[in-house]
Structure 1
Amino acid sequence: MTSPVPILSPDELLDAFATPWGLDAYSHAVGHACLLLDLSRPLAAGREEDAVRALMGLPCPTLGLGALPQVPQPHGLLAALDVVLINQDELPGMLRNIQAHPLAAATLVQLLRHNSRASIEDGLLAESLAYAMLQGSQEFRHFLAGRGTPIRNDDEYPLLITRLGNILDITLNRPEKRNAYSAAMRDALYEALSFLAADSSLERAEVRGEGGCFCIGGDLEEFGLSTDTAQAHLIRMSRPVGLMISQLADRIEFHVHRACIGSGIELPAFAKRVTATADTFFQLPEITMGLIPGAGGTVSILRRIGRQRMAQWALSARRIKAATALEWGLIDAVV
């Protein structure tokens, strides 16, 4: 049974880390799966730099729980945390996810720390490597064990592509699968975007989804097909759809509706403009599978909504509505 995670004050954090082995208690390998910091208790003067160093060095999620702004904390301390929770309603769900999937949770926050300082290219490389690592983890194998035998879905027309004057209309075309993002769809989308890149007479591409929703994320029927995770990494890097969208961001618009899960928001977030219908919802459920966002979301969504908000959202795996997504900057308009 998982032991309760103690809640430390900022000064108790530094006292705990005063010895070389202080960090040991906050790694799932030997101790707690996360650190909880009580922001209602002040940090003593002159200790901010040490606190920041301690937090940034932890190999686990760091969550600040607070009564801000009643007790002001140094900016550096707050910025170093992975999540700052003023309202703690989400805390129980986040702790359940972190403790059930500590490897995925730790990988997520470490990757977001890295990608907040990285270029798009370096961030995508780091994400793919981290994703490949988790594909070989016990957490992901446990998820796969509860599913049937994986199958490859080679749809003949996973996309519908039409040129309308100087507009390239791209439609995700797997409505019977709620436009689940398959390998075939990825390859077709990469080819369509390559065509846009090569044809300067095209003003822009507009991407939408056929049927009842835009995209429910990666095709779960294909999860587990790739047993060689190194090869899977190389395939992702040879078909970098997210990178292509980022390079063509000014010429691509996404118009999404209803369910936008996982890659269904990770890829649109690279574009300069994303619109959503009022009944759209967004979700990053990967932690519940022992994974992290793997279609570029730790780069694209991070750049739209910031590191701490993304960490909080991804660790909670909760759905958000279009109005919230607009407030955050995840999308650009509700239509």
Structure 2
Amino acid sequence: MTFPVPILSVDELLDACANPWGLDAYSPLTGHPCLLLDLSRPVPMERTDEAVRALLGMPCPTLGFGASPSAAQPDGIVAALDVVLESPDELPGLLRNIQANPLAAATLAHVLRHNSHAGIEDGLLAESLAYATLQGSQEFRRFLAGRPAPLLDRDEHPLLTERQGDILHITLNRPAKRNAYSAGMRDALYETLRWLEADDTLARAEIRGAGSCFCTGGDLDEFGLATDPAQAHLVRMSRPVGLLISRLAQRIECHVHRACIGSGIELPAFAGRVTATADTFFQLPEVAMGLIPGAGGTVGILRRIGRQRMAYWVLSGRRIKATTALEWGLIDAIV
């Protein structure tokens, strides 16, 4: 199996670290869009600190592979990588996606590294700023150029609410568009959650989706409408739905079904309890659009499944089943 990116052993990584210019080629701007590390050969513990610092500071994603990597290498090196695979079999797909959108892939790695040590508010700020940066990128413009002309419509009721006793039922209500998360739905959900926050006579809220699926993510017909990335960032920070859900987590349950794509799982991940039907699938396809998850996923999902698993999932673009989501901790039960 051959790869378009050189594969380094840990010893070779350490040798490169000893050279001030040894790793300069590992950047989307200067050569290799990612760094591949073979973890199959152990190294002495005393030689790891420099490698860890180098990996955590790389401007590109770092991927490691090898038989039982956690046993073969000290935790520091393995933990510093963005993605760890047991074998190289999945590398071709990951490399294709990274090479197709190297700026988005690198930005994802940077944000996840930062957010793995950040609080929720700081993490959401970092995510929004990074997302705004990518909204002005060539990769995102290329994605938009391949899209058909948007078909905009105005929903009278993108969100339905009903109070039954001390339970607030919230329903995403754009079934004709598979509950695509629009600006109107976001604003309505934000205001509803503010109501929940202020009303202590409500014990909890239950969020569901109308129609054939829970939510297919951001409304693609609205992508590109925000021509000022700085303004778009301020809009996200002014309507922080994910932050509100996190603050109210113990009072919010999400019951999802079928497609949960992008924000359709990013927002539920903040809830205290998430259940899914057995036929549900989950996907984070943003890197293929030249973006990163932008509805709080690099915070909420990260806290549920961990940095390396999330980086792998987003960079692979793969769909996962409900059983896998339960195994990962992305959801709490299959119903």
With the shorter chain as reference, the TM-score category is over 0.9
1:198 aligns with 198
For the Cα contact (< 8 Å) 1:39–1:71, is it kept in 2?
Answer: no
Q: Is the 8 A contact 2:204 2:252 kept in 1?
A: yes
Alpha-carbon shift at residue 140 of structure 1 (Å): 0.3
For 2:326 and 2:271, locate their aligned partners in 1 and report how far apart those are by CA, in whole Å.
15
SS at match of 2:253: strand
How far did 1:214 drift? 0.2
Give, in whole Å, the separation in 2 of the partners of 1:116 and 1:70.
19
Rounded Cα–Cα distance in structure 2 between residues aligned with 1:93 and 1:310: 16
- Tell me whether 1:170 sits opposite 2:170 in the alignment: yes
Match of 2:74 in 1: 74
Shift of 1:321: 0.3
321-330 or 43-52, which deviates more: 43-52
**1:286 to 2:276 alignment:** no
Contact 2:162-2:168 at 8 Å conserved across structures: yes
Q: CA RMSD in A?
A: 1.2
1:304, CA displacement in angstroms?
0.2
Q: Structure 2 vs 1, CA of residues 316 and 21 (structure 1 numbering), >3 Å: closer, same or farther?
A: same
Shift of 1:63: 0.4
For residues 252 and 321 of structure 1, the distance between their equivalents in structure 2, rounded to whole angstroms, comes to 23
Deviation at 1:89, TM superposition (A): 3.2
Give distance in 1, aligned partners of 2:235 and 2:69.
47
SS at match of 1:17: helix
Letter in 2 for 1:295: A
Scaled by the length of structure 1, what TM-score is found? 0.97
Counting only pairs closer than 5 Å after superposition, residues 221-236 of structure 1 correspond to structure 2 as 221-236=221-236
Query: Larger deviation: 151-160 or 308-317?
Result: 151-160
- Deviation by residue 1:283-327 (Cα, 9 ceiling, x = unmatched): 000010000000000000000000000000010010000000000
8 A contact 2:45–2:74 mirrored in 1: no
In the other structure, the counterpart of 2:207 is: 207
Counterpart position of 1:325? 325
Structure 2's unaligned 5+ residue stretches are none
**Is 2:69–2:78's contact at 8 Å kept on the other side of the alignment?**
no
Verify: 1:22 aligned to 2:26, yes or no: no
The question of whether the paired residues in 1 share the 8 Å contact of 2:206 and 2:255 is answered with yes
With 84-93 and 248-257 compared, the bigger mean Cα shift is at 84-93
1:102 is displaced (CA, Å) by: 0.3
How many residues of Structure 1 are paired with residues of Structure 2 in the alignment? 333
The 5-angstrom pairing of residues 1-335 of structure 1 reads 4-68=4-68, 72-150=72-150, 152-335=152-335
Instruction: Indicate conservation of the 8 Å contact 1:153/1:184, yes or no.
Output: no
The structural deviation recorded for 1:71 is 5.8
- Secondary structure of 2:46's counterpart equals coil
Report the CA distance between 1:23 and its aligned residue. 2.4
How far residue 252 of structure 1 moved from its aligned partner, in angstroms, is 0.3
Q: Deviations over 1:246-265 (max 9, x none)?
A: 00000000000000000000
Q: Distance in 1 between matches of 2:116 and 2:70?
A: 28
CA contact (8 A) 1:28 1:102 kept: yes
Deviation at 1:151, TM superposition (A): 5.0
Percent identity over the alignment? 76
Segments ≥4 residues shifted beyond 6 Å: none
